[in-house]
Amino acid sequence: MTALPNRVERKLGLVIDLDTCVGCHACVTACKGWNTENYGAPLGDADAYGADPVGAFLNRIHSFEVTPDEGPAQVVHFPKSCLHCDDAPCVTVCPTGASYKRSEDGIVLVNESDCIGCGLCAWACPYGAREQDPVEKVMKKCTLCVDRIYNDNLPEVDRVPACVRTCPAGARHFGDLSDPDSDVSRLVAERDGMDLMPEQGTAPVNKYLPPRPKDAELDILAPLLEPVAETPRGLLGWLDRALEKL
């Protein structure tokens, strides 16, 4: 049913730290791997080794250049996947009921055997979180690794989304954002976690932690390192003087 649930018991989601992300794309690869081998249709690629490869991904890393009022420009790596919105427009536009938001944990999922591949959900999503699989022709999206987080066959440490488990920088955090005392909620409160495109009225569950302000002095060791040999001596000095005279 594509009506949104009146109330969700929990709001499982991700908190993504833009200060920590190093832009290594490991989460992209882990996501593609897990979601190709497990729940649902494999994430397809078309023309994978050809001139114009295109494939379905549930998570993509953009990099932005941010110029502060003072100081040099900085690069911020920006992972983007489904935000599992409270008011998910992708769900309500679905004509078949294939898209739904779960009342028990708020995860937005696609029932692929009901999906007609009309693509309207992708049009309705402001974040580009849904893509049509080029092989299976059904809509694919982040499942929050629903087949890992409740999977008793996995060691407890692995019962988090593949992107979170693999992130070498610890930039991705998973938890219940409806519980104000959860680790993720405290992180959001401490670091002023933000919504993407709040004006779109989607009420995203996933939050982004803004980059911390950089220190004014970027290189703390620089003052300790006096410049060496500004005027060359010895052979180099003679060469320098000789060349100067030419």
Partner 1 sequence: MHPAPSLIAFTVLSGLGFGLLACLGLGLAPTERWTGTVFFALGFGLAGTGLLSSTLHLGHPERALKAFTQWRTSWLSREAWLACATLAVAGLYAALAVLAGLTVAPLGWLAAALCLVTVGATSMIYGQLRTVPRWHHWSTPALFVGFAVTGGILLAGQVTAAAVLLALLGVAQFLAWRAGDRRLAASGSTVATATGLGPRVRLFEPPHTGGNYLTHEMVFQVARRHATKLRSIALVVAFIAPAVLLMLPFSHALAAAAVVAHVAGMVLIRWLFFAEAEHVVGLYYGRPVG
Q: How far apart, in whole angstroms, are the C-alpha atoms of residue 41 and residue 138? A: 8
Q: How far apart are the first and last CA of the chain?
A: 86
Helix (H, G, I), strand (E, B) or coil at 176: strand
Q: Which is nearer to partner 1, 20 or 92 (CB)?
A: 92
Question: Whole-number minimum distance, CB 170 to partner 1, in Å?
Answer: 20
Question: Whole-number minimum distance, CB 64 to partner 1, in Å?
Answer: 5
Is residue 26 a contact partner of residue 168, using CB atoms and an 8 Å limit? Answer: yes
Question: Whole-number minimum distance, CB 140 to partner 1, in Å?
Answer: 9
Question: Whole-number minimum distance, CB 231 to partner 1, in Å?
Answer: 40
Question: Whole-number minimum distance, CB 43 to partner 1, in Å?
Answer: 12
Q: Which is nearer to partner 1, 78 or 154 (CB)?
A: 78
- Which residue(s) pair with 110 in the sheet? 99
Would the CA dihedral through 199, 200, 205, 208 be positive or negative?
negative
Q: Which of 10, 11, 13, 8 is nearest to 174 (CA)?
A: 13
Q: How far apart, in whole angstroms, are the C-alpha atoms of residue 76 and residue 104? A: 34
Query: Which residues are near partner 1 by CB under 8 A?
Result: 1-3, 18, 28, 52-57, 60-68, 75-76, 78, 80, 89, 91-98, 114-120, 122-128, 131-132, 134, 136-138, 194-201, 208, 210-211
Q: Which is nearer to partner 1, 26 or 120 (CB)?
A: 120
Q: Which is nearer to partner 1, 10 or 84 (CB)?
A: 84
Q: Which is nearer to partner 1, 51 or 216 (CB)?
A: 51
Amino acid identity at 68: P
